[in-house]
């Protein structure tokens, strides 16, 4: 298979973890006989430095031409005081919008070797294996009217949560399709006892479910879901929810994995004629200026993003599983970075990448 991938290392540890993820991708392609065509482009702070904008037109063009995009992270402290529309993080919103990705998938799983790294008791975390599907293009983060109004007797702020039937329909179908390939269980999360958007959400989910009779569906209110994620996380297979609920719940899910450096993510758009999804793949963490340039960053989130890229954008399930098995083997061998190893000598970012390549 030909894999045309655009790589956007970004800023800080983004460049370090992406280098290891690319090495892993190269080994996979070598081993399974795929042709890898890699291109690099600028996004975030480095793009501001070199071109004056966080999301250059050239990057947009290359992203739209590629089969999939592998991203590191963006953000540099020197831009912290800049207005939001000029900051590196605006590059992220720009590329997500340009690629039309509407669902953010965050696989959350426990690894035996990392059970003690989670603040939860081992028996609660052992065996956790879920995917949180967060709607990415709608809801309160994008709704209008929005703003802070100062023309009345006192300042007043407004945000608007809005969803259309089709926005709910497409992300729900993605949740069902993922569940169908896993343990066939979908949990839809809403706040339908209070919000009209959630009432529509639930109505659409129930309607879509008729096309997936083989998948067991249940509904949870978001407050109860937040509780169940720490009380009984193993009950979840695929969880689908709107933008803001997903933002919050997926960070809660992160603690189950032991370190934020472990978590991959996939932002997925429309299906292509060959059945694969358009996708943007990146670790969940940011550019971590506190450890950038020190060869200390945990690359497993980026490497897991390669596994997701292989599976969702190319249907290469066997190759993806091999990357995940190699990850498990390296974790078990104890060659891990400092975030997972409070005592003893930690491995460097590069040593972990090398170990995964060897395990493959
Ligand atoms: P962060 O995720 O960069 O770091 C939070 C903490 O986790 C830090 O202590 C960091 O050292 C640690 N950490 C993160 N990733 C790690 C890894 N792979 N290995 C080991 N430790 C790791 O979040 P932050 O500090 O809130 O943000 C830093 C910058 O990153 C900001 O500019 C922010 O806007 C940006 N950011 C970008 C993204 C993205 O590109 N998707 C996401 C979140 C934050």
Place of tokens 């370090």: 16
Q: How far apart are CA 37 and CA 56, in angstroms?
A: 21
Q: How far apart are CA 105 and CA 217, in angstroms?
A: 18
For the chain, strand residue ranges (E) read 2-10, 35-40, 68-73, 103-109, 129-135, 143-149, 156-160, 185-190, 216-221, 238-241, 264-271, 277-283
- pLDDT of 64-99, one tens digit each? 999 999 999 999 999 998 987 789 998 998 898 899
Going 133 to 340 to 68 to 45, the CA torsion angle's sign is positive
> Considering 67, 191, 296, 339, which one is annotated as catalytic?
191
Ligand 1 pocket residues where CB is under 6 Å: 13, 17, 73-75, 89, 92, 260-261, 282, 285-291, 297-298, 301, 337, 339
Shared domain for 287 and 321, answered yes or no, is: yes
Give me the pLDDT at residue 277, please: 78
112 pLDDT band, cuts 50/70/90, is confident
Residue 231 has pLDDT above 90, yes or no: yes
Domain-embedded: residue 111: no
The torsion angles phi and psi of 9, rounded to 5 degrees, stand at -65, -35
242 pLDDT band, cuts 50/70/90, is very high
**Cα of 253 from ligand 1 centre, angstroms:** 16
The dihedral region occupied by 262, where left means phi > 0, alpha psi between -120 and 50, and beta the remainder, is alpha
Q: What is the CATH number of the domain that holds 168?
A: 3.40.718.10
344, exposed or middle or buried, with CB in 10 Å at 0-12, 13-18, 19+?
A: exposed
Domain-embedded: residue 35: yes
Top pLDDT among 118 and 222 is at 222
Helical H segments across 163-284, by residue range: 165-180, 196-209, 222-231, 243-254
Shared domain for 171 and 270, answered yes or no, is: no
- pLDDT of 265-312, one tens digit each? 999 997 777 777 789 999 989 999 999 999 999 999 999 999 999 998
199, 232, 257: which is the final residue of a domain? 257
User: Among the listed ranges 145-159, 200-214, 332-346, which one has the minimum average pLDDT value?
Assistant: 332-346
210, 232, 257: which is the final residue of a domain? 257
| Contact (Cβ atoms closer than 8 angstroms) between residue 44 and residue 107 | no
Radius of gyration of the chain (CA): 20
How long is the chain?
A: 360
Give me the pLDDT at residue 144, please: 93
231, 257, 283: which is the final residue of a domain? 257
Domain-embedded: residue 14: yes
Structural domain that includes position 183:
119-257
**Cα of 10 from ligand 1 centre, angstroms:** 12
């Amino acid at each position: 298979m030909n894999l045309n991938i655009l790589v956007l290392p970004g800023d800080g540890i983004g460049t370090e973890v992406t280098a290891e993820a690319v090495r892993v991708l190269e080994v996979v392609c070598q081993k399974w006989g795929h042709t890898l065509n890699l291109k690099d482009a600028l996004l975030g702070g480095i793009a501001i430095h070199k071109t004056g904008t966080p999301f250059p037109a050239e990057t947009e063009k290359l992203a739209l031409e590629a089969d999939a995009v592998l991203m590191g992270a963006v953000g540099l402290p020197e831009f912290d005081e800049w207005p939001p529309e000029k900051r590196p993080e605006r590059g992220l919103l720009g590329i997500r919008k340009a690629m039309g990705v509407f669902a953010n998938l965050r696989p959350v799983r426990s690894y035996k070797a990392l059970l003690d790294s989670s603040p939860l008791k081992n028996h609660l975390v052992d065996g956790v294996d879920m995917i949180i599907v967060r709607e990415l293009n709608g809801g309160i983060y994008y709704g209008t009217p929005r703003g802070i109004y100062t023309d009345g007797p006192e300042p007043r702020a407004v945000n608007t949560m809005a969803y259309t039937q089709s926005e709910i329909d497409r992300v729900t179908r993605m949740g069902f399709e993922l569940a169908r390939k896993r343990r066939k269980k979908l949990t839809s999360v809403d706040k339908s006892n209070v919000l009209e958007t959630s009432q529509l959400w639930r109505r659409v989910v129930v309607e879509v479910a008729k096309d997936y009779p083989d998948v067991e569906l249940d509904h949870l209110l978001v407050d109860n879901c937040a509780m169940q994620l720490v009380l009984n996380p193993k009950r979840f297979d695929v969880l689908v929810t709107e933008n803001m609920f997903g933002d919050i719940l997926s960070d809660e899910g992160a603690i189950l994995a032991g370190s934020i450096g472990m978590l991959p993510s996939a932002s997925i758009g429309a299906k292509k004629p060959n059945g694969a999804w358009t996708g943007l793949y990146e670790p969940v963490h940011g550019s971590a200026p506190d450890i950038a340039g020190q060869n200390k960053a945990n690359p497993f989130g980026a490497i897991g993003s390669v596994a997701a890229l292989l599976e969702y954008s190319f249907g290469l399930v066997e190759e993806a599983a091999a990357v995940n098995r190699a990850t498990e083997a390296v974790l078990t061998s104890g060659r891990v970075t400092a975030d997972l190893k409070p005592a003893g000598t930690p491995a460097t970012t590069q040593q972990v990448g090398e170990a995964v390549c060897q395990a493959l």
